[in-house]
Amino acid sequence: MRDLLRHPTGLAGAVLLALIAVMTIFGPLIAPYDPQQFHPLSRLQGPSVAYWLGTDQFGRDILSRILNGARSTILFGLGATMAGVAAGGAIGLIAGAIGGAVDSLIMRLLDGLLAVPDLLFTLLIVTVLGGGSGHAMLAVAIAFMPGLARIARSTVLSVRTREFVLAAQARGESPVYVIACEIMPNTIAPIIVEATIRVSFAIMLGATLGFLGLGAQPPSTEWGLMIAEARQYMFRNPICVAAPGVAIALAALGFNLLGDALRDLTDPRGRR
Partner 1 sequence: MNTAIASARPDARPALEARAYSLAYETPDGLVQALKSIDISIPRGKTLGLVGESGSGKTSLAWAIMRYLPRNARELGGELLLAGESLRATSKSQIADIRGARIGMVFQDPSTSLNPTLTLGEQLAETLIRHRKMSKAQAFSEGEALLARTGITRPAAMMKRYPHEASGGEKQRVVIATAFACDPECILFDEPTTALDTITSRQILDIFQRLQQDTGVAALYISHDLALVSRIAHDVAVIHRGEIVERGATATLFRNPQHDYTRALIAAAPRPDIRLSGPAPDTAAPTVLATQDLTVRYGGRSLLQKLMGRGEAAVEGARKIDLDIREGEVLGIVGESGSGKSTIARAIAGIVDFSGTISFDGHVVQERGAISRSYRRAAQIIFQNPDASLNPRQRVGEIIARPLKLYGLAKGGAIEARVAELLAQVRLPAEFAGRYPHQLSGGEKQRVAIARAFAARPKLVICDEITSSLDVSVQAAVARLLVDLQAESKASCLFITHDLNLVRQLAHRIAVVYRGDLVDLFEAADFDAQKRHPYTRALLEAMPPPIHP
Minimal distance in Å, beta carbon 186 to partner 1? 6
Question: With CB under 8 A as the contact rule, which of the stretches 83-91, 147-155, 180-188, 229-237 interacts with partner 1?
Answer: 180-188
What is residue 186's three-state secondary structure?
helix
C-alpha to C-alpha distance for 249 and 62, rounded to whole angstroms:
17
269 forms part of the interface with partner 1 (CB under 8 A): no
The count of chain residues that interact with partner 1, using the rule CB under 8 A, is: 19
Which residue, 26 or 164, has its beta carbon nearer to partner 1? 164
CA angle 197, 201, 205 (to 5 degrees): 165
Contacting residue, 49, 130, 171, 269, with partner 1 by CB under 8 A:
171
25 forms part of the interface with partner 1 (CB under 8 A): no
Minimal distance in Å, beta carbon 188 to partner 1? 9
Minimal distance in Å, beta carbon 165 to partner 1? 8
Angle, helices 62-98 vs 223-230, to 10°: value is 130
Minimal distance in Å, beta carbon 266 to partner 1? 12
Cα atoms found within 13 Å of the Cα of residue 123, Cβ hemisphere only: 9
Contacting residue, 56, 61, 118, 182, with partner 1 by CB under 8 A:
182
Burial 245-258 (b: 16+ CB within 10 A, else e): bebbeebbbbbbbb
C-alpha to C-alpha distance for 11 and 21, rounded to whole angstroms:
15
Burial 30-59 (b: 16+ CB within 10 A, else e): ebebebeeebeeebbbeeeeebebbbbeeb
Minimal distance in Å, beta carbon 133 to partner 1? 37
Contacting residue, 25, 116, 164, 232, with partner 1 by CB under 8 A:
164
Contacting residue, 29, 41, 170, 176, with partner 1 by CB under 8 A:
170
C-alpha to C-alpha distance for 130 and 66, rounded to whole angstroms:
26
Minimal distance in Å, beta carbon 53 to partner 1? 41
Contacting residue, 42, 173, 249, 266, with partner 1 by CB under 8 A:
173
169 forms part of the interface with partner 1 (CB under 8 A): yes
231 forms part of the interface with partner 1 (CB under 8 A): no
Which residues does 31 contact at the CB level (< 8 Å), separation at least 6?
61, 63, 64, 67, 68
Angle, helices 239-266 vs 188-211, to 10°: value is 170
Cα atoms found within 13 Å of the Cα of residue 99, Cβ hemisphere only: 8
Contacting residue, 25, 120, 167, 234, with partner 1 by CB under 8 A:
167
Q: What are residue 230's DSSP bridge partners?
A: none
Contacting residue, 41, 115, 163, 235, with partner 1 by CB under 8 A:
163
Which residue, 269 or 272, has its beta carbon nearer to partner 1? 272
Minimal distance in Å, beta carbon 130 to partner 1? 40
Q: Considering only residues 94 through 153, tell me which ones interact with partner 1, judged by CB under 8 A.
A: 101, 104
Contacting positions for partner 1 (CB under 8 A): 3, 6, 101, 104, 162-164, 166-167, 169-173, 181-182, 185-186, 272
